[in-house]
Amino acid sequence: MPLPIWILTGPTASGKTDIGLKIAENINAEVVSADSMLVYRGMDIGTEKPSLAVRSKIPHHLIDIVEPWQEYSVGQYVKDFEVVAQSLYQQGKLFIVVGGTALYLKAIMDGLFEGPPADWEYRDYLRSIAVEKGPNYLHKMLAEVDPETAAKLHFNDQKRVIRALEVFKTTGHRISSFQTQFGHKNPNHHCTPVAIDYDRDILYKRIETRVDRMFVRGLVDEVRTLLSNPLGLSKQASQALGYKEVIDFLRGKYTLSEVTSEIKQRTRRFAKRQMTWFRSFSNIHWIHASAESETTKLSEEVIEYLTQNKSLSKETR
């Protein structure tokens, strides 16, 4: 029998973490993270990680599970998620998946394409081409070797275009040929995703407030501390939104004002890409929030929707 999975997502700065906490309090549930940066220890401010005090009150899973110098893949996340989900289910505990890493959520809902490991040297090479010749050039490269995948990807979706080129270089086969199972519902789970949606202008203001708050809380000092470790940061961790830009700031690329503006701009772009992903989820339910929406009210709307769809009922557990 498929495992019932309750998912709460939304773009960055949509308040899903606080809403998820309120839901967990109301139904006595635990939280399973679906955020690719919350897995790293010591990366707290830039990810707005729930505090230890909060996590001592409401159990959280898949947070602080690897060191910042270690690599962590979506494949490993899926394995870790399955262990946690099955354990909680067997103990009879409710849980809610909260996070905005679309690839993690897609893997939970639709299964995972197990591709070759990252080739960072080749990725850096492709990024340099994109800088020199533009993202359209990479997209044309992909169209020549895998037109099916290229047709599905926007040329600005550089991360996925690069991954598709990387898979072809590594295996000699098109990524589309490996993905026949991807996009079909995961037979192991019955997922009910809910997403928080704001009008663009309101979301952008929330993003600006969030970035300002991160700097006030000490983001620069946090990054400086991470870099002081002799083991450094993994490629993945060092590319994290907010951290990459502050690293460049510490190396003299930006002034403080410039790096703040840069992070805000890149976060807005990231939120836009997230929304594109979420809209591709076939059964997602959107809950619209306004500038006046309160966390408690939004959490009640989520619970009401899921209760009506019987995703919390005993029949599904």
The pTM of this model reads: 0.81
At residue 176, the pLDDT reads: 72
Residue ranges of the alpha helices (H) in the chain? 16-27, 52-57, 74-90, 102-110, 120-133, 135-145, 147-152, 158-171, 175-178, 200-217, 219-228, 235-238, 243-250, 256-279, 295-308
Taken in order of first residue, the domains within the chain and their CATH numbers are 3-113+184-316 (3.40.50.300), 120-178 (1.10.20.140)
pLDDT in tens, 274-297: 999 899 888 899 999 999 999 999
* Token pair for 175: 């990524």
Name every residue whose Cβ is closer than 8 Å to that of residue 163 and which is 6 or more positions away in sequence.
115, 175
Task: List phi, psi (to 5°) of 61.
Answer: -130, 150
β-strands 3-9, 60-61: how paired? unpaired
Is the separation of the CB atoms in 191 and 252 below 8 Å? no
The segments of the chain whose pLDDT lies below 70 read 1, 113-115, 177-187, 310-317
End-to-end alpha carbon distance in the chain: 9
